Amino acid sequence: MSILFTDCRLLLRSEGVYSVMDGFLGVEGAYIDYIGKDRPKKGYSTEKRMGGALLMPGLVNAHGHAAMTLLRGVGSELPLQDWLFGKIIPIEDRMIADDIRWGTLYAVMEMLACGTTCFADMYSFTLEETEAIEDCGIKANICSLPLICGDPTLEAHECDRILKAAEYHRAIDARGEGRILSDFCVHSEYLSTEKTLGPYLEIARELGARIQIHISETEKEQLECIERHGCTPMEYFERSGALDNPVCAAHGVWLTDSDIEIAREKGVTVAHCPSSNMKLASGFAPVKKMLDMGVNVALGTDGCASNNNLNMFEEMHLAALIHKGDGREPSAVSPAAVLDMATINGAKAMGRPDCGRLEVGARADIVALNMNALHMRPALDIPALLCYSAQGSDVLMTMADGRILYKNGEFLTIDEEKVTAEFERCCGRLLG
């Protein structure tokens, strides 16, 4: 299958600088094989006239809990610890595999409709639910069995999540021609114990697995970790050896300067989640400082109970704005930096070096954006338009690995009616 996009504008990136070119983009199989101002000599099996739409890289949601769509709106206006332990975990304890499946598929629809082609997910998955995501054609880094443990007496040999970690990882990793990758996951310092963390990390090290961790999301987490261990969460995970693997640290709101230095030195990605941090009143992550110090910063929505949607354009908007207001510095985080966070930086964190940009030889993860919307004229500065004006609803088409998954309001790989009905059924059982 090959497709040539014509009558379109292309958002290109060269040495960190974004530019826009009117031209043609060719896709052969899963890859982009042509970008140019002139029509390619090669013939393509399908040609699509895009009506002046902007083709841009698919968005990468670097932190979330997809099936939390089921909990959208639960526990608003509460601080994180009361929200998590008082409202969220009691419902999550009642969740069964069926809920995860339909909650996640519903989330995938929401993400595709807003231009996300790849997402990192921190929830428990069995092989069955993984296959359901695989069939949608979206890319996902899935945590098969996150280490979540609040019982300091539990020994590693009693912990199912440790005993099955390697087996699940091998069963899930690289499914769907590599669209599905398996990550290890330590929920957080406050939901891990010394007895279980070491043995879990040992397995991750043997497998060379990426690890997703919530790090320094709230001041309370930061201070209690210092009280418990005499060090910050970032230092705690460095000492435990977790940072010797590729780590994506969600939030990083309360990172100290020396934590940021550790992140830079260890190549830790920080997944910035501005909506969630604002909604749970966690604070402003030091994003400008992290960027200045050379940390790879990505962007995520977090789960739907703390956001309450999976629209990456909204995260881009907030990431571009809040640090200007907080630091009273209009150049704090530039549109180019935000675009990097939402695409190439997230792809890097998720072990996908050939994703996150429009380039010959890169994966064909492409979003077409409506440039005829009222709020998109005049198109003087397109990176700025994408951060300050564009809406998720401007997405006309979402393609991953050369396959169109969403087009003009329709899902081509998902039965929207069935997923919505099953999602409603799960919501009713869990929340009713």
Residue with Cβ nearer Zn ion (273 or 376): 273
Closest CA to 286 of 225, 247, 332: 332
Query: In Å, what is the CA distance from 153 to each residue of 84, 156, 160, 310?
Result: 22, 10, 14, 37
Residue with Cβ nearer Zn ion (129 or 302): 302
Q: Which helix (H) or strand (E) holds 299?
A: strand 296-299
Closest CA to 369 of 4, 2, 5, 3: 5
Measured at CB, which residue is nearest to Zn ion? 302
Instruction: State the minimum distance, in angstroms, from the CB of residue 251 to Zn ion.
Output: 7
Instruction: State the minimum distance, in angstroms, from the CB of residue 306 to Zn ion.
Output: 7
d(Cα 342, Cα 393) in Å, to the nearest integer?
A: 17
Instruction: State the minimum distance, in angstroms, from the CB of residue 276 to Zn ion.
Output: 7
d(Cα 45, Cα 58) in Å, to the nearest integer?
A: 23
Residue with Cβ nearer Zn ion (235 or 302): 302
Closest CA to 44 of 34, 55, 56: 34
Residue numbers at the binding site for Zn ion (CB under 5 A): 302
Instruction: State the minimum distance, in angstroms, from the CB of residue 366 to Zn ion.
Output: 27
d(Cα 65, Cα 303) in Å, to the nearest integer?
A: 5
Using the Cα atoms of residue 246, residue 198, residue 273 and residue 102 in order, give the sign of their dihedral.
positive
Residue with Cβ nearer Zn ion (144 or 389): 144
One DSSP character per residue, 285-311 reads --HHHHHHTT-EEEE----GGGSS---
Q: For the chain, how many residues are written?
A: 432
- Residue for token digits 């292309």? 10
Instruction: State the minimum distance, in angstroms, from the CB of residue 71 to Zn ion.
Output: 12
Instruction: Say if residues 199 and 160 touch (Cβ distance below 8 Å).
Output: no
Instruction: State the minimum distance, in angstroms, from the CB of residue 301 to Zn ion.
Output: 9
d(Cα 431, Cα 97) in Å, to the nearest integer?
A: 16
Residue with Cβ nearer Zn ion (302 or 422): 302
- Residue for token digits 């428990």? 124
Instruction: State the minimum distance, in angstroms, from the CB of residue 269 to Zn ion.
Output: 14
Residue with Cβ nearer Zn ion (8 or 80): 80
Instruction: State the minimum distance, in angstroms, from the CB of residue 213 to Zn ion.
Output: 10
Residue with Cβ nearer Zn ion (148 or 373): 148
Query: In Å, what is the CA distance from 281 to each residue of 42, 138, 290, 301?
Result: 54, 31, 20, 15
Residue with Cβ nearer Zn ion (124 or 398): 124
Query: In Å, what is the CA distance from 1 to each residue of 26, 154, 163, 362, 427?
Result: 11, 52, 42, 16, 39
Residue with Cβ nearer Zn ion (173 or 302): 302
